[in-house]
Structure 1
Amino acid sequence: MTNATDARSSALTGLAAVLVAGGAALVSVATGAWQPAPATLTAWSLALAGYVLVYVLDAELLVRRPLLPRVPAAPLLLLLGLAVWFLAPGLSWMATLFVVTAASWTTVVGRGGLVALVAVQSVAVAVGMVLGGADVGIVLALTGTFASFQAFAVAVITIAEREAAGRAELDRAHSRLRATHEELRAAHAELRAATALLSASSRDAERLRIARDLHDGVGHQLTALALELEIAGHLAEGEAARHVARARAVAKDLLGEVRATVSALREEPHRLAETLRELLGDLPGLEVALAVEVPEPPAQDVALAVGRAVQEIATNTLRHAGARRLDVAVVQDDDGALTVRAHDDGRGSPAVVPGNGLTGMAERVGALGGRVAVESAPGEGFTVTVTVPRAPGEVRPGARALTVGRAGAGRDVGRVAP
């Protein structure tokens, strides 16, 4: 069947057909239309009751799994159905049991076995009616009718089973496609994050290279020029001495400006807000609200740790949260520490099990003396809080860099202005 409800409905239909046929036989006994010997009636009743019992245990009517293995159940249904039929061959409508049996066998044997079953039960119908004294025309008509009913039942159930298998395969394909899509979303986020962090690192490296070149090249040359002009000032006299003095003063001023420029380049703050905007910008299927309130620029290693943490948070949200919105706030505490608070509106989890990503984030932050806290509850999303000291601190022995727990998500972060 296409689903559990269809399978249960079909099983109930088969059971109803058996009970109606059996009830009609009992009505015949009550009205005197069928007057079997007491022993025959007892045997027939036991056979029919056994058929109903086996059918119920096999058809998943009580629970959603067969209570009787289908391999022994199928032959039992055939034997009990034959017993019911041959004990009262005059009750032609009891051949309905053969149709129900044929439908039950579709999940047990292949096409060849089903053809053999229909043939055996059709022969049984013909033999029973001959034994019951029916004329040839009625025997042929009813045998052909019930053979057609069996074939039709087998065809319908087989088609339904194939449709169910096709639907199941299609569902699996959709699941694989969704998983692939989620992987692509996460990979896209990771690529954007890596690009943003690499760009920031490249800018820092280029800035430091320029500072070194100014110091080692221009700075040294100006220092040498100032020394030469000082020597020339001692040797020159009159008007020439005044020009040399002015040139020496200009050289000293230039050297001071170069040193100031080198210091400024070396101490230029890491543009954290710009980096985070590049990192979180245009994530597929996820609305991101970012707020950065850091009055003083952080050190480069602190800014890098914060960037990596935000990257991991965004990747986990895309991979696992099933969220539509992610709120990220970066603030500087009174003691100068940077705190990242992130919350998504995803499905949440009753228990947070740290994977490689969270563990790596905690190790990176812990190396700077910081800590990571993760909180979640079903239906309340994930809340991640990352705290990094402004200056890398000493890691206390035994200190835990990662803590997980259950809490009301969203209370610390809420919605922040983008």
Structure 2
Amino acid sequence: MFSGAQERSTALTGYVALAAVGALAAVGAWDGPPGTRAWWWLAYGVFVLAFVVDDVAGTGAPGSRPRWASTRALLAVDVAAALVAWWLAPQVEWTAILFVVTVVPAALSLPPVATAVLIAVQSAAVVAGAARVGGAGDEVVAVAALYGALQVFAAIVVVAGRRQAEQRAALAAAHAQVRAASALLAASSRDAERLRISRELHDVVGHGLTALALELEVAAHRAQGPELEHVERARGIAKDLLGDVRSVVGDLRGEVRGLESALREVVGRAPGLQVVLTVREEVPVGPESALVVVRAAQELLTNTLRHAGAHRATLDVVADAGGVRLRAHDDGRGSRRLRPGNGLTGLAERVEDAGGSVRFSTAPGEGFTAELQVPA
């Protein structure tokens, strides 16, 4: 998983190498056998075409790449074209640069063992071609060692860059999880304090004002003359104060909104991913259910960052009398078969332990979708 800047830098390096090979073939003296130059240019043109198609297809939206233009199919075309060009004219030693270029997409799309096998095959081809034209033993070894080392170096650079990108994404996801947990804890603390204050107002001040209003009611029945006017006025003030206290208590209880703030912390730290979050809380959400939903959102976004190759994700959360529902969807590559890893398995277990349910779905070119529901 490379960032967009890293992918463009890698592709630009490949274009520079191909341009150098083409320029040398165009302006340099042809050392190959007579009649092979046109065929060499044909093989070189096929190589360049496959490289360009792979680059252009890779810049489109995830899932938009045609099956015939898959990276591995185009890589096979490049490998075949490079072998043909080399075998036609091994005297033109810089043709072996094409082998170095093929290692880059191989290291990105193939397992390390397959990449190592490809390097070994291409290095053997360099040896065979150099020996075929009668090169001296030390010359053959020198050429094979040079281009073999360049291939290994290219593979190491690509793999190291990919691992760094994955580590940065994992670190950013972990940082987002920590920030979200902190936000949820802070929101829960604020909500708990609001509830405590509201209970104190209701139980202490509210009860005291209620008792005062009742005493003034009794006094109003016994007072006469000017005293009655003052008692009635005091009773009205007590009732107004009791109404104000009840209004403040209601406002404090209605401000429990920890879920949305925690979710916004989660989506605010998703590197390289556009996340659209919508939250509708029609009923208050308890801290246990809120924690389950936030943890689920964290895991789904982490899964998208690491595996989906997506550009955009949506999170829709609704809390009503039926519970809290979360629907997450990304525009990643998707897959034919869903194979939940430890993260998704743990997510499902957490939701089920909370008395909820979860469902995952995916398809090639249609991204990944998760829908879950827990009690509010």
TM-score tier, shorter chain, comes to: 0.5 to 0.7
Q: Does 1:268 align with 2:269?
A: no
1:224-239 maps to which residues of 2 (within 5 A)?
Answer: none
Q: Which stretches in structure 2 are left out of the alignment for 5+ residues?
A: 266-275, 286-376
Which of 37, 44, 51 is 1:41 aligned to?
A: 37
Which of 47, 55, 64 is 1:51 aligned to?
A: 47
- Count of matched residue positions in the alignment of Structure 1 and Structure 2: 267
Secondary structure, aligned partner of 2:90? coil
Distance 1:199 1:11 in 2: 66
2:9 corresponds to which residue? 9
Distance 1:13 1:196 in 2: 64
TM-score with structure 1 setting the length: 0.54
Shift of 1:356: 2.0
Cα deviation 1:155-200 (Å, max 9, x = unaligned): 1111111111111111111222222233223223322221221121
TM-score with structure 2 setting the length: 0.59
Shift of 1:14: 1.4
Shift of 1:207: 4.0
- Contact 1:96/1:146, CA 8 A, preserved across alignment: yes
1:367 corresponds to which residue? none
Shift of 1:107: 2.0
2:351 corresponds to which residue? none
- Contact 1:51/1:77, CA 8 A, preserved across alignment: yes
Q: Which stretches in structure 1 are left out of the alignment for 5+ residues?
A: 224-251, 272-296, 323-350, 361-418
Q: Does 1:150 align with 2:120?
A: no
RMSD value, Cα: 4.1
1:20 corresponds to which residue? 20
Which of 355, 369, 373 is 2:280 aligned to?
A: 355
Rg larger for: 1
Cα deviation 1:254-296 (Å, max 9, x = unaligned): xxx9xx989957952566xxxxxxxxxxxxxxxxxxxxxxxxx
Cα deviation 1:93-122 (Å, max 9, x = unaligned): 111111111122012222221221111001
Which structure carries more helix by proportion? 2
- Contact 1:8/1:60, CA 8 A, preserved across alignment: no
1:136 corresponds to which residue? 137
Which of 63, 66, 76 is 2:59 aligned to?
A: 63
**Identity percentage of aligned residues:** 24
1:229 corresponds to which residue? none
Give the direction of change, closer, same or farther, for the CA distance of 1:269–1:133 in structure 2 (3 Å limit). Answer: farther
Cα deviation 1:186-220 (Å, max 9, x = unaligned): 223322221221121112124435776x699xx89
Shift of 1:46: 1.4
Distance 1:352 1:54 in 2: 39
Q: Higher relative CO (CA 8 A, sep ≥ 6), structure 1 or 2?
A: 2
One-letter amino acid of the counterpart of residue 204, structure 1 = G
Distance 1:266 1:162 in 2: 73
Q: Does 1:196 align with 2:166?
A: no
- Contact 2:32/2:92, CA 8 A, preserved across alignment: no
One-letter amino acid of the counterpart of residue 196, structure 1 = I
Give the direction of change, closer, same or farther, for the CA distance of 1:269–1:211 in structure 2 (3 Å limit). Answer: closer
